[in-house]
Structure formats: structure tokens, C-alpha cells
Amino acid sequence: MSLKEPVRENMSEDFDTFRIGSEEAEPDEGQVRGQLQTVGHRYGVIVRDGADGSLMAVRMFDAATGRFSDLKTGPDTRMSDIINTEEMLSKINDTEAPGIIIVEGGEAVGVLSEKRLREYFDQQDFTVHTRVLGDLSLHGNPTVEAYSVICASPGCGALNIVTEFDEGKTMCVNGHVLIAP
């Protein structure tokens, strides 16, 4: 995989679109789940139109978990623009965000699932190169390996970027002892 790879190459078309007008209530969770099971899809993209016919909102429903997401991006967005954004990763890790909806020209065209994003994230090289300190006659390029650990503490799930991990001692960004999955 390449950092410059567009989102389009990684998205799934395994979704069903539900269009609702601006005055209609959002579809019932059971209704959406039932329709997705009928067509054999996991994701339902709910598109709410504005009164003037313009796109007002896009939400994604994950039938497997019953979670909704408001995250969205375009098909030509690079994977690195998503993966290297800590804010986006923390939103994806949120219990309300099963993935990202790909929107093109105001229409939902695909889904980039949380699982796919995590697979891509896990395959990246997070080596941080530092400048040489001290004696400039020394040769080599010192590096520090940086690892990302999602905390498995109940109710946490925070993204932690650490250079070393000692389970039971390394602290989470939320102030408690970091527990890895």
C-alpha cells in the first residue's frame, strides 16, 4: 500500500443508500438493519436532503454493531490524509464511528470501514528519524521506533503513540495504566 493511494482504491461498495426528505424522521434502526440483511449488506448510508434538494447530511449505519457515523471524505482523498490525522483516528475509535463514508458530488459512493482503516494503519512504517546530537564525527542515522497502541481499558479506547511499551507501567494519554488489546 502507498501513502498516496486514494481512498477510492480501498472503499467497499457493500452498502445500501436510504434517502429521506428534510421533514422525515430518521429511519428506525430495526428497519434499516432488516433492509440491509435483505440485500446482504453491512452498511446503510442515510442521506437527508435539504428542502431545496441539496444534500443536507450523510450518516452511516453499521448493521453489525448498530452504530452510526457522521464522518465523510471524498474518493480522491489520499489514505495518508486520513491515517496520519490523529483527530480522524480518534473519531474512528469512537464507539459512534464504524468507518468513513465516501462522498462524491454530494452522493454517497462507498464506505471505508473501520477495519480497513486499521489494516492500512497497521501496515504503515512509523519510524521517526532524528537529527544527530553531539559528536558530528559519529556515523549512522539514529532512529526511534514509534508505535501506536489503542488502549483496551473499559470505556477508554484512546490512541497512544509510544516509543516503548511496558504493559502495566506505560501510561495512557487519559492518565491511567495503558492496557493493550
If residue 117 lies in a helix (H) or strand (E), which one and from where to where? Answer: helix 114-122
Does residue 129 sit in the same domain as residue 163? yes
Residue 146: inside a domain: yes
pLDDT of 139 = 60
Could you give the number of structural domains in the chain?
2
Q: Per the domain annotation, does 120 fall within a domain?
A: no
Residues whose CB is less than 8 angstroms from the CB of residue 134 and which lie 6 or more positions away in sequence, other chains included: none
- The Cα 157–Cα 109 span in angstroms is 29
Is a pLDDT exceeding 80 seen at residue 168?
no
pLDDT at 1: 47
Residue with the larger pLDDT of the pair 82 and 62: 62
Ramachandran angles phi, psi of 12, nearest 5°: -105, 145
Please tell me the pTM assigned to this model: 0.61
pLDDT digits (tens, 9 = 90+) for 91-145: 666 666 788 889 888 888 999 888 887 777 766 655 444 555 555 565 665 555 6
Assess whether 96 and 59 both reside in one domain: yes
24 and 87 in a single domain? The answer is yes
Q: Check residue 144 and give its pLDDT.
A: 58
The SS3 assignment for 111 reads strand
Vertex 32 angle, CA 28 and 36, to 5°: 170
Let me know whether 18 and 95 are in one domain.
yes
- Residue 49 sits in which domain range? 7-114
Determine, yes or no, domain membership for 160.
yes
pLDDT tens figures, 12-65: 888 999 988 877 887 888 889 999 999 999 999 998 887 776 777 788 899 988
Q: Residue 40: what pLDDT?
A: 92
Q: Are residues 110 and 130 in the same domain?
A: no
In terms of domains, do 98 and 69 share one? yes
81 and 133 assigned to the same domain: no
Same domain, 94 and 146: no
Residues 22 and 69 in one domain: yes
Contacts of 146 (CB under 8 A, 6+ apart): 126, 127, 128, 161, 162, 163
